[in-house]
Structure 1
């Protein structure tokens, strides 16, 4: 997510279209050619300590990578830099660090790492991004493949007992579930919030709620999206659900119901939140500050709401 994802660039009457042009480099074991996914970028070798993950807890796409890194036990293998929740059109910034400078990369603007890789980088300065520490250059910001490769390519460094986030016998079905979650839910809330016309909004709203109804039914039959164990699919859905009542319900006009009014989705979201990798990386204050301050076209006053009360996330979920 970056400043170019604000509604100011959606022309009146148009539907929101996400820019999905990323740096398609991959970090793979021994810089081998990956079996799945894009192969048109450069290949970098897996090497502990070589890379730094830059991922803001305000951003759902970035929070995925933080959760997966912790689930797999890679905290001592890939360091983590945390930009602050608000930024202007130039770049994410390291406002949470002393003097506003990342202590490892020595930069205030994440743009500096992009420009070191591609001078005057022409697209959005997005998180998550993986940066090579020694050169200070961005390696990749292709977020779906970052988490994929953390699982498949960094396996030698996973903690003992790390979850199987990509079970082989379910991969085909899981890919279909994740595709629908991405197009209709993860990106669907943005289509609602940034719609350039009533017609575009109405269509986006209907698509979003058709998918949420499907998920509500699915989660009435199993604890997690793929059964009784957490997978990458759950990580991808969770970061949208965690922001739903605090941001998307009102700010993005996704207001047919609150998450708390959907019994299976709400229980499922609390089940995940109450597990350390999810709850410890869900910062509601940062989430609200980002959307309500940065999206000034939607919220010109930039007033950040005080609610909802995050204590409800700790109530019993009943899904064990």
Structure 2
């Protein structure tokens, strides 16, 4: 019989979530200075030996003006005679909305050490993200103003009335009646009637094409959300950040889901509830995956063009079914 001792209550940290073993904890950024339309990755990582599969990683908090996307969770765990060993981490993508310095506050991770038989807490350092380029917060909030200037008088612009004008009446002979222009204007209303009937019939036919109209509206909506991504074609970093952001904004607009709440499983669940076909849902998730993988793999302009067309097509299909 194996007797399992309960963990002590005394000195138990408030943020303890059940991690037992011996671990290291760190929060790192792949870069802390960003250019315009550039993103950074923040990694929250626990590694060591213990019940790694049950570890709950703490979440980072970002200040206003620093947009944070749902993290990508990864596990690298091996099982040996001594137990589980390896690492788990969450990787966040962050994008500044305007220029400035943004401080990500420290976070802590608590666990019970089997070696020392006591609770331990590791606190990370604060991370400062510097975005020196782009608009300021006030420029984003304030509309441009109109500058008023005084009118400058210029004597050359004014001529006095002449009191000795030599004016003679000019008689113009009109050849309008019977001219080609006269008959053209006379026949124009007669030609306009069948043309108007033809245009009206085409409009009526198009208005009655419900499926075609819905497809055209869906395509216009997809192009609207993907407009920024199209501008960034050829710029790998900017393109995939803009593409991923477009997908999130589309979901927020159509499904009323906040960006911070979005995960891939939740996306699938909500789209299934809205009766979207499963192959279309899989294509949508595939575009999300491609945005993540592209940051770490070589990408050509042709591949970006194909990814843009794939995203536009899947948004059009989803919009037709919602």
TM-score (norm 2): 0.24
TM-score (norm 1): 0.24
Mark the structure with the bigger radius of gyration. Answer: 2
Task: Give the structure with the higher percent strand.
Answer: 2
